[in-house]
Amino acid sequence: MFRFENEQDAARVFTTDANGTAVLTGMGMYAERRPRWRVEIVRVPVLVSAAIALTPFVAGIGWSIRRRRLAPHGALKRAVFAVPMVLVFPPALVARMPTRDWGSLNWRTGLLFAATLILPALALAIVSLAIAAGRQGAARGLLFYAGLVSASLVVLTAYLWYWNVLGIRLWAY
């Protein structure tokens, strides 16, 4: 048993549960010991998805250099190009927002709420635009790339949803 400096009595203990798993328990806490790889394995698809979702900056540069290449299926290409901006905008907004504004409903927190909901909507828009572009004879490479970016958005949306950051309402906390 042990205690922290500011506590009077030892209130935490490392022990094992009925299955022999090491646990830390006490003071409303129960934490099982898990192998580090089981915790870190979740980060791999999220980091790969974030990297894929940021690649449209590079593709957009190529599309904008050759403007005639942007014309066919331009709506799909613009939607794909919007992905990195949608990913970068919420953290940039929070970084520029004064902390005194975080707890109240104002234009910044409302914009942050809307910006986090754009991610899944953009994933659906890319899929529907890719289907329409496929029917119009778009290149398979473009369709594959759009599908890859959309799938990465689905992974990122699921991750943000799991951590309750999707549709975050700072004024509600």
Q: What is the mean pLDDT of residues 21-38?
A: 84
Per residue in 124-168, pLDDT (tens digit) is 999 999 999 999 988 898 899 999 999 999 999 999 999 888 888
Stretch 44-48: mean pLDDT, rounded?
Answer: 93
Nearest to 50 by CA among 171, 165, 157, 130: 157
Q: Do 53 and 87 form a contact (C-beta atoms < 8 A)?
A: yes
What's the predicted TM-score (pTM) here? 0.74
Calpha distance 85→119 (Å, rounded): 10
Q: What is the largest distance, in Å, between two alpha-carbon atoms of the chain?
A: 73
Computed over every residue of the chain, the mean pLDDT equals: 87
Which string of DSSP letters, residue by residue, matches 15-36? Answer: EE-TTS-EEEEETTEEEE---H
| pLDDT score for 69 | 58
